[in-house]
Amino acid sequence: MIFLDNAGTTKMFAECVTTYSHFACDEFYNPSAVSRKSAFVHAKLEEVRRVCLKKLGALKGTVIFTGGATESNNLAVKGAVRNGDFEYVFSKGEHPSIFNVARSLENEGKIVKYIGLCKDGKVDLAELEKTLNKKTKLISCMLVSNETGAINDIKKIVGLKNQLSPQALIHVDAVQGFMKIPFSVEDLGVDMLSFSAHKFHGPKGVGGLYVRSLQLIKNIVDGGGQEYGLRSGTENVPAIMAMHTALSMIDVKGNFEKVTNLKRIFNEIVSQESDIKILDFHGSPYIEILSFKGVKGETMLHALEERGVIVGLGSACSAKKAGNRILENIGYNKDEIISSCRISFNAYMTESEVKEAGNIIIETYKEMLKRLS
């Protein structure tokens, strides 16, 4: 089986399983208790927190451990909401865990504004510049699009924010960027940033929210006061420690170069079939879209799975819904959207695997055309 839906999830490193088992069965103690064993576990969590900050390139701030990106995104946005005459700004390209929170804010009577996307899949900076003002409380924009791989220029967005809305907070969903593309939160200048372990070969159900200052947000769940009072509930120690193992194993720069080469090899093969269109937004090498003229993307997905190749239809959080909100906002027509599949790589694939996958995709596409003709 060749897995080409790594933007949806990644295979956990075997070493992470070993770490998880150790902290689930041997060092299983509650980090909030007062025993020496618990103090040891608490110290381990603080070590992971420091490692996360280092990997993020943070000179200040902290990381709040969460149950994953959806919780991190909800905490960032809802935790920043305040009573008053404020405006909240989101791009139209956001993941459902941000976009649907924005919709819920609208339903609560908050003033929410949405920024469109350009043809290159990036946030329309000209529209953003016209939208920001002194009432803007929060701007939330993803670093790397989970649908297209387009990389937003966060530094320019922060520059506009500093110029037009200096009082506003900037939150970035970096789920498809953290441990995949080189960046630092200090260089970007952001206030909050979300990440999720299962996108970089760690376990599902754990992630984090970087916050520049603990005073920027309020908690959205009441409880025992863990994670500086911002995320109550006993920490998922085995998953956090397994995430730490994944963090220690990844060479971001080396992996970036390898995946860039894998994508090039794959595209050289697929482009031999003129009716397979590569929608490449020249962003992250980890993600791209293929559009199959005359064949539905879902049909291709199931046919390819029968041949041992797994691809995606976009965000797994919304893949069962008709259409694609992101591609629609960029300007693709209905036929192109219906006929599309998302391809996403990982750095531990081999050249022979991507070559085989490319050839299987072409063969399967030709078979589907014959059946449908």
Task: Please name the CATH architecture into which domain 14-249 falls.
Answer: 3-Layer(aba) Sandwich (3.40)
Backbone angles phi, psi at 221, to 5 degrees: -135, 130
**Active-site hit among 25, 118, 317, 341:** 317
Cβ atoms of residues 141 and 157 within 8 Å:
yes
Q: Measured between alpha carbons, how far is residue 264 from residues 258, 286, 292 in Å?
A: 10, 11, 19
Give the DSSP letter of residue 229.
G
DSSP readout, 235-304? --HHHHHHHHHHHHH--HHHHHHHHHHHHHHHHHHHTTSTTEEEE--SS-TTEEEEEETTS-HHHHHHHH
Q: Measured between alpha carbons, how far is residue 207 from residues 49, 64, 68, 112, 251 in Å?
A: 11, 9, 4, 27, 19
Active site residue 317: yes
What pLDDT was estimated at residue 316?
45
Torsion of CA 219, 184, 180, 320, to 10 degrees: 40
CA atoms within a 13 Å half-sphere pointing along the CA-CB vector of 312 = 26
Cβ atoms of residues 317 and 135 within 8 Å:
no
Q: What is the pLDDT of residues 149-189, one digit of tens each?
A: 999 999 999 999 999 999 999 999 999 999 999 999 999 99
Question: Comparing C-alpha atoms, which of 58, 60, 146, 47 is closest to residue 96?
Answer: 146
- The C-alpha atoms of residue 329 and residue 325 are separated, in whole angstroms, by 6
What pLDDT was estimated at residue 308?
98
**Domain coordinates of the chain in residue numbers?**
2-9+251-372, 14-249
Cβ atoms of residues 77 and 140 within 8 Å:
yes
What pLDDT was estimated at residue 314?
58
Give the DSSP letter of residue 23.
I
Q: At 152, list the tokens.
A: 């937003």
For residue 41, give the H/E element and its range.
helix 36-56
Residues of the chain with pLDDT under 70: 314-323
What pLDDT was estimated at residue 319?
45
Directed axis angle between helix 297-306 and helix 351-372, to 10°?
Answer: 120
Backbone angles phi, psi at 217, to 5 degrees: -130, 165
Q: What is the pLDDT of residues 21-48, one digit of tens each?
A: 999 999 999 999 999 999 999 999 999 9
Q: Which residue has the tokens 């799975």?
A: 305
For residue 137, give the H/E element and its range.
strand 136-140
- Domain 2-9+251-372: CATH class, spelled out: alpha beta
- The C-alpha atoms of residue 216 and residue 331 are separated, in whole angstroms, by 36
SS3 for 73-108 is HHHHHHHHCCCCCCEEEEECCCCHHHHHHHHHHHHC
What pLDDT was estimated at residue 280?
82
Q: Whole-model pTM?
A: 0.95
